Structure 1
Amino acid sequence: MAQVELDKDIFWRLIEISTALSSERNTARLFEKILDAAQDFTGADGGTLYLLKEKHNKQVLEFEILRNNSLNLTLGGTSGRPIPFAPLPLYRDDGTPNHNNIATHTALTRKMENIADAYCAKHLDFSGTKAFDARANYRSQSFLTVPLCNHADEVIGVLQLVNARDAQTGQTISFSPQIEPIVAALASSAAIALENQILLQDHKNLLDAFVQVIAQAIDAKSSHTSAHCQRVPALTELIAKAACATQEGPLKDFDLDESDWYELRVASWLHDCGKLATPDYLLDKATKLHLLHDGIDTVKARFAALMAQTETAYVKKMLAMPLAQAELAQELAQTLEALAQDCAFIEIANKGGEFMSPEAKARIHAIAEQYWQDTKGQRQPLLTPEEVSFLCIERGTISFDERQKINDHMTVTIQMLESLPFPKNLKRVPEYAGGHHEKMDGTGFPKGLRREQMSWPARMMAIADIFEALTASERPYKPAMKISQALSILQRMRNQNHIDGDLYHLFLEAKVWYTYAKTFLKPEQLDVEDYQPYL
């Protein structure tokens, strides 16, 4: 009867442990739970958990956690203390299987090994164990080593227990054969839990790789916005960390757990994925006249033609009017100089800038009223109506219609992300990523959302996107903006209710701008010490 009760006890403990293992999401804690349970069942003084991995095209058993109660030693797992031992290769350099080591032998044979005394084992090499014992003043005696096999009967790791202890005397004894089925059952549960965790991590790694490949592809479309999709996630994370750390104000209760952080990172990496559908010439538009190529060369060729035609016309006049040659030569020089200045002015206007005055626009319209003759002798305007429209762009190099095409990337971003079957823990990725061009007063795009309709992370990403764009040094139409200018623009946007005021205040108070600048910006851009004027 006592044996039956004992068996029931063990059965329910195995169920309890299996449930605990299956619910654990932290890999390091899972390793510890497996080893805890194994030592508890067997009374082992120490133990090691190995995982089978591939390193440099070779299969090895890598130490994940090592524990010894007598030595008060815990390495790996959540201890924060690395295991200094090299992985154990399953095969030697010549390709032969490594059956000398008990852990690799167990992995290769897929069979449990129960060794009463390691020092007396003739078929296995315990030289490493003996060397450890000598250094630690310890005596490793009994070993119980179990393969961890997945549902396909593939070894994914090895569980090794050392020195079973007598419950009454505390003396080292052999591992009882009666405990082997229990340890085998525990190993099976542990293997299932480990495989689930490994598969979960593999899928996560695959998703991370896809996400970063997409971000790199977007950045690669234009050298002028290169690294934008990599820097925005870093800045968003800095803002979120500051929000989690604050103990006052509207954000005092804001917090992110491990799953929330992952969701935010995925969203920030994908925030511009819709730009994959944006024409390359728009993303790479360095000048106002740049379409598939920079149209300034065509305009300059027209100026050259007009200057040559003007010179020819004056030469003919000089030949026809010898007495007026000096006057005509001076008039020619003045006309050519005026054309050269107009051409230089067009070149400058083509580069874009922060603001174009009404006077500059009027000059472009005046230049457009001049004509030259093409190869067929027909009069053509020096600037076409389309070129005049582009050259009169007030800020930057993008026209209103082109800006609308670029803005469409947000609609495409949301469509792309909402079409993906994100799991529950990533359901908010489309909302986070799709809101970084919205404004707190509802005048943003693509949905015209107001502040209260947006989550904190979406509002954080909006500030990160703006600040990165302002301070980026790769934009051809403007020099790298200094922190003082960028903060002044953000302050104005806060005053106009375009960005979240509470987050802007946190951005300043927590010196997120400073931390970001020290890592990602040029030293000469960091020209602010006191942020008080920008509050």
Structure 2
Amino acid sequence: MASDLKPPAPARRFRLPLHIHISTLFFLLVLIAGGSIAWVSYVRSAEMLERAAGDLLIRISRQTVAEIESLMQPVNASVRLLALQPVARATTLADRRSGLPAFREALRAAESVSAYYIGYGDGDFFMLLRLLSDADRRQLAAPPGAAYVIQSIAGGEGHFIFLDEGLAELRNDPRPDYPGSYDPRRRSWYIQALGSAEPIQTAPYLFASTRKPGVTVARLADTGRAVVGADIRLATLDETLRRQRITPGSQLVLFDDDLRVVAYTEPDWLAAAINGTETERPKVTSLSGGALAALVQRVPRAEGGDDLPLTAFSAGGRDWHGAVARLPVRGGRPLYLGVAIPDEEFLTDARAIRDRSIIATLLVIFLALPFTYLAARLVSRPIRELADETAAIRRFDFSSPVATRSVVREVDDLATDLAAMKRAVRRFLDIASVMAEESDFDRLLPRLVDETVGVVGARAGVLYLARDDSEVLDPAALRDASGTSLALELAPPGADMAGLVSAGERSGVGDLNAGQGARRHCAPLFGALEASHMAYLAVPLLDRKHARLGLLVLWFDEAPAADLVHFVEALSGSAAVSVETRALIRAQKQLFEAFIQLLAGAIDAKSPYTGGHCARVPELTKMLAQAACDATHGPFRDFSLGAEDWEAVHVAAWLHDCGKVTTPEYIVDKATKLETIHDRIHEIRLRFELLKRDAEIACWQAIAGGADRATEEARRVAIWATLDEEFAFVASCNVGSEEMAPARIERLQQIAARRWLRTLDDRLGVSPEERRRMGPGPALPVAEPLIADKPEHRFARGAEDVIPADNPWGFRLKVPELLYNRGELLNLSISRGTLTEEDRFKINEHIVQTIRMLAELPFPRHLKAVPEIAGGHHEKMDGTGYPRGLTRGQMSPVARMMAIADIFEALTAIDRPYKTGKKLSEAVAIMARMRDEGHIDPDIFALFLRAGVYRDYAERFMQRAYVDEVDVEKVL
């Protein structure tokens, strides 16, 4: 059962209290919610930033296009005007210099133009180049103050003429190699303009004059052979792109279809060693950092519009967002704008929002966690209390009710159910405890009804028990709610109540009105309960084989609830087991009691002279024990016996002489010295008869031989008289009523010396065992002593009849050498009584057998003292008794009481063959001497007299003739 209540524990897992789980759950929920909000905010912010960046990129694209167009429009007008000027038709340098003011005004009108020039069909070239910076001047080795330079090819001669702001010549440098290195007719702007009636715009390239990137706008003059051109510097686009940076680390690039860079946000992006050819502009893929290279390779080029999404990509170990927009340029090839923004800058705001959200979440958690912990403890406290209650139930501690309540409905329902369960288990155990405590079957039945009625709140209860081997139910107990027993005659008949439960059902529930109750003979019970109608709950009591032991019927004012029905059904099983167990115990006790009395009766019936001894000693012992329990002062004022102690006294008293079943009857009943199975005095008498017959024969033989008849007859008469007297003496010795003095023993031996003639073999007709014990017989006829101790009269003691000194029972008896000694002369010579030493030991051995027999019985614990009580009634207080030589201090009070009871019963018994019964006063006087000699307990003997036990016993068991007055005070 212990393993069921507490099965083997599984492997221990990490466990935490409920409030920790709730707090942790809150922490995780807030953390997840805060993290989710932070992440969503981050994602939304990133999306917003992407949209904003896309919008910004569109604006940058449009602004870049607008700026390019703003550069192109005035240049187109200037080129158109210059194409109409005479300079377009001039053939000499001097004529061409006349157009310088127009060139200067055109340059002043468009700051983005670095030079205006005209290429002629004969290979001549005239260009006015503006020097914007000292770097431009150093590049051309211009003199100080130079504002312009004329680069001219005329008539095969080349010149670089430096002018100041007023167009005054500062220096004229001949450049003989210039015509050979530069032919305007082979330039793309010249070729394109020749083929177009409208102004043309070249793709960006590096100007030959300044090695700066730009585009050329050219127009064919009216002459059809000269082309007017203007170099537009794109360096301003770099500044435009730098101004449009979205973040400090973002990169913008303007490039063409060939991925050649037109403008770039990074300064000095052009190599210093560029030699001025158009193809030497770097490609986007060669720019440092690799971000823009990855951009143009991985990101699709979007057409211009209102939506320009950004794409995420990685380059150089960093994460980027970027886009490429196509910029349509009127009059020229389209350009492309690429934007790359590093994520750590692009998503700074989004990440800041995310981080702030996370910090806010953590702040909420840490601020709310203590309150959450306290709230969780408050919420979980009922759970902890219920856990403590379940632990108390597991410990079977029902001392306090379940008072836990909770605002959580499920927990409160659990508390309510647990309280109900605890009450039910407690009531169940209370009833089980009551049933377990009550060992008496007759007291168990009303207590069972009382407890059940009280627990379930019934008005009354009736317990029916089935008759042995019968289905008939008889009322055994009828109790009302106050615990009062009602007359069993008020109980309805069992046959009517048995019908309240259908076959196979565990219970029956219903109502009976007055009419229904009358039909089931319930009217007397209803009247006693002052009820016109009642509800009932009938539960059958079944044994282990499901046979009906009885029926429990509970009466209520209202029909019992379902949970109460289930409780009573469960209780009925325990009640049935208890009833069955107590019934079995009672039957076993009754059977045991019958065996005890059967054995005691058999012992008394074994000898007609000791009949009633085994029945009277228990009564006298119990009378003494009761007197000791009733004593209010003296040595027995604290003496008491419980129910189990009384049972031990009862069993021990009835079995105190059970060892006598092993004692031969002829020894127990030995009334004469020669008595065995029969009294052997008759054999000796027959021998005397033979001697007398021998004397008569001798007389007649002598007369026949001539002897005097009178003399012979007188001799015969004298012999007969002697033989008669001697036999009478031998017979008196056999009775054992007188003490055998030495003179009597001597005379007995003289008489025994007479001879008689045996002519028959005394081994004929005996058993083989007896014949082996007799040994070989003498030759016949043989003269034998009249009274003899023959070898066959000695019975050897076997090893099984020897009691060793170290025996486990503590016996201290002197064991005779022989088992029996039936010698005729020996037995007749017994000085007192009729028993030989062997006979006396055999009789005394009955108590040895009693102890040994009782010690072998598996007595229950409360009967363990039976051998000690039963085996001590021949002990003496001074230690001279038998079989163990116990002293007063070694014997229990009840054992000492039984010793007095056994002696008193033996003294007053009138059915003993070897003595007559003593009068009451004589018996008390003898026992007083035994007290004085230390044989019996003086305190118990005094109790025996003062409590009047001797008188009560005499009135019940002694004949009036033997009951006389006893002077108790004198004896005491």
Normalised-by-shorter TM-score class: 0.7 to 0.9
Aligned residue in 2 for 1:263 = 648
Matched, 1:206 2:599: no
Matched, 1:458 2:851: no
Matched, 1:65 2:477: yes
Q: What is the deviation of 1:424?
A: 0.9
Matched residue of 1:152: which SS?
Answer: coil
- Does the 8 A contact of 2:446 with 2:479 survive in 1? no
Q: How does 1:214-229 map to 2 (within 5 A)?
A: 214-229=599-614
Matched residue of 1:225: which SS?
Answer: coil
Matched, 1:335 2:719: yes
Identify which range, 408-417 or 127-136, moves more after superposition. 127-136
The residue type equivalent to 1:197 in the other structure is R
The residue type equivalent to 2:509 in the other structure is N
Matched, 1:369 2:753: yes
Give the distance between the partners of 1:83 and 1:247, measured in 2 at CA: 39
Query: Alpha carbon RMSD of aligned pairs, Å?
Result: 2.9
Aligned residue in 2 for 1:78 = none
Q: How does 1:132-281 map to 2 (within 5 A)?
A: 139=532, 141-162=534-555, 164=556, 172-281=557-666
Give the distance between the partners of 1:417 and 1:104, measured in 2 at CA: 50
Aligned residue in 2 for 1:288 = 673
1:268-297 deviation digits (Å, cap 9, x = unpaired): 122122222223332232322111222111
The residue type equivalent to 1:21 in the other structure is M
Query: 1:300/1:46 Cα in 2 relative to 1: closer, same or farther (>3 Å)?
Result: same
- Does the 8 A contact of 2:539 with 2:552 survive in 1? yes
Give the distance between the partners of 1:188 and 1:118, measured in 2 at CA: 29
Identify which range, 261-270 or 186-195, moves more after superposition. 186-195
Matched residue of 1:147: which SS?
Answer: strand
Q: What is the deviation of 1:116?
A: 0.6
Query: 1:354/1:458 Cα in 2 relative to 1: closer, same or farther (>3 Å)?
Result: farther
Larger Rg: 2
The residue type equivalent to 2:438 in the other structure is E
1:149-205 deviation digits (Å, cap 9, x = unpaired): 23332322211122x2xxxxxxx3333444211221222222222223223222222
Higher RCO (CA 8 Å, separation ≥ 6 residues): 1
Query: 1:531/1:108 Cα in 2 relative to 1: closer, same or farther (>3 Å)?
Result: farther
Query: 1:390/1:107 Cα in 2 relative to 1: closer, same or farther (>3 Å)?
Result: farther
Give the distance between the partners of 2:872 and 2:660, measured in 1 at CA: 15
Identify which range, 152-161 or 9-18, moves more after superposition. 9-18
- Does the 8 A contact of 1:116 with 1:175 survive in 2? no
Give the distance between the partners of 1:353 and 1:366, measured in 2 at CA: 21
Matched residue of 1:239: which SS?
Answer: helix
Aligned length: 505
Matched, 1:16 2:453: no
1:184-242 deviation digits (Å, cap 9, x = unpaired): 12222222222232232222223222222222232233222222222211111111111
Query: 1:32/1:153 Cα in 2 relative to 1: closer, same or farther (>3 Å)?
Result: same
Aligned residue in 2 for 1:169 = none
Give the distance between the partners of 1:477 and 1:334, measured in 2 at CA: 35
Query: 1:309/1:190 Cα in 2 relative to 1: closer, same or farther (>3 Å)?
Result: same
- Does the 8 A contact of 1:307 with 1:336 survive in 2? yes
Give the distance between the partners of 1:367 and 1:151, measured in 2 at CA: 78
Give the distance between the partners of 2:876 and 2:824, measured in 1 at CA: 32
Identify which range, 398-407 or 328-337, moves more after superposition. 328-337
Question: Given the alignment, which residue of 377, 383, 387 partners 2:787?
Answer: 383
Query: 1:501/1:18 Cα in 2 relative to 1: closer, same or farther (>3 Å)?
Result: same
- Does the 8 A contact of 1:352 with 1:477 survive in 2? no
1:239-285 deviation digits (Å, cap 9, x = unpaired): 11111112222222111110001011111122122222223332232
Q: What is the deviation of 1:338?
A: 3.3
- Does the 8 A contact of 2:491 with 2:525 survive in 1? no
Q: What is the deviation of 1:496?
A: 0.9
Question: Given the alignment, which residue of 521, 524, 532 partners 2:958?
Answer: 521
Give the distance between the partners of 1:228 and 1:499, measured in 2 at CA: 19
Aligned residue in 1 for 2:214 = none
Q: What is the deviation of 1:298?
A: 0.5
Q: How does 1:65-144 map to 2 (within 5 A)?
A: 65-69=477-481, 74-75=485-486, 83=488, 98=495, 101-103=496-498, 106=501, 111-121=506-516, 126-131=519-524, 139=532, 141-144=534-537
1:42-90 deviation digits (Å, cap 9, x = unpaired): 3322221122232xx64432322212358x9514xxxxxx74579967x
TM-score (norm 2): 0.49
Give the distance between the partners of 1:363 and 1:352, measured in 2 at CA: 16
Query: 1:466/1:501 Cα in 2 relative to 1: closer, same or farther (>3 Å)?
Result: same
- Does the 8 A contact of 1:268 with 1:433 survive in 2? yes
- Does the 8 A contact of 1:88 with 1:104 survive in 2? no
Q: How does 1:18-33 map to 2 (within 5 A)?
A: 18-33=432-447
The residue type equivalent to 1:276 in the other structure is V
Query: 1:85/1:521 Cα in 2 relative to 1: closer, same or farther (>3 Å)?
Result: farther
Q: What is the deviation of 1:454?
A: 0.9
Give the distance between the partners of 2:498 and 2:639, measured in 1 at CA: 47
Q: What is the deviation of 1:394?
A: 3.3
- Does the 8 A contact of 2:446 with 2:478 survive in 1? no
Give the distance between the partners of 1:233 and 1:87, measured in 2 at CA: 43
Aligned residue in 2 for 1:44 = 458
- Does the 8 A contact of 2:507 with 2:539 survive in 1? yes
The residue type equivalent to 2:447 in the other structure is K
Give the distance between the partners of 2:736 and 2:862, measured in 1 at CA: 44
Identify which range, 387-396 or 347-356, moves more after superposition. 347-356
The residue type equivalent to 1:444 in the other structure is G
1:359-385 deviation digits (Å, cap 9, x = unpaired): 544443343233333335533222223
Q: What is the deviation of 1:428?
A: 0.9
Query: 1:510/1:335 Cα in 2 relative to 1: closer, same or farther (>3 Å)?
Result: farther
Give the distance between the partners of 2:965 and 2:449, measured in 1 at CA: 53
- Does the 8 A contact of 2:491 with 2:524 survive in 1? no
Of all paired residues, the percent bearing the same amino acid is: 38
Query: 1:415/1:65 Cα in 2 relative to 1: closer, same or farther (>3 Å)?
Result: same
Matched residue of 1:159: which SS?
Answer: strand
Query: 1:108/1:510 Cα in 2 relative to 1: closer, same or farther (>3 Å)?
Result: farther
Identify which range, 262-271 or 347-356, moves more after superposition. 347-356
Aligned residue in 1 for 2:837 = 400
Q: What is the deviation of 1:354?
A: 7.1
1:306-362 deviation digits (Å, cap 9, x = unpaired): 11112222344455566x544554453343233223323333432333744555444
Aligned residue in 2 for 1:79 = none
Query: 1:508/1:355 Cα in 2 relative to 1: closer, same or farther (>3 Å)?
Result: farther
Give the distance between the partners of 2:683 and 2:502, measured in 1 at CA: 72
Give the distance between the partners of 1:524 and 1:284, measured in 2 at CA: 25
- Does the 8 A contact of 1:264 with 1:457 survive in 2? yes
Give the distance between the partners of 2:950 and 2:834, measured in 1 at CA: 27
Which segments of 5 or more consecutive residues in structure 1 lack a partner in the other structure?
A: 76-81, 90-97, 165-171
- Does the 8 A contact of 1:110 with 1:155 survive in 2? no
Q: What is the deviation of 1:458?
A: 1.2
Give the distance between the partners of 1:254 and 1:341, measured in 2 at CA: 62
1:380-435 deviation digits (Å, cap 9, x = unpaired): 22222321221232333221111112222222222222222221111111111111
- Does the 8 A contact of 1:440 with 1:499 survive in 2? yes
The residue type equivalent to 1:159 in the other structure is L
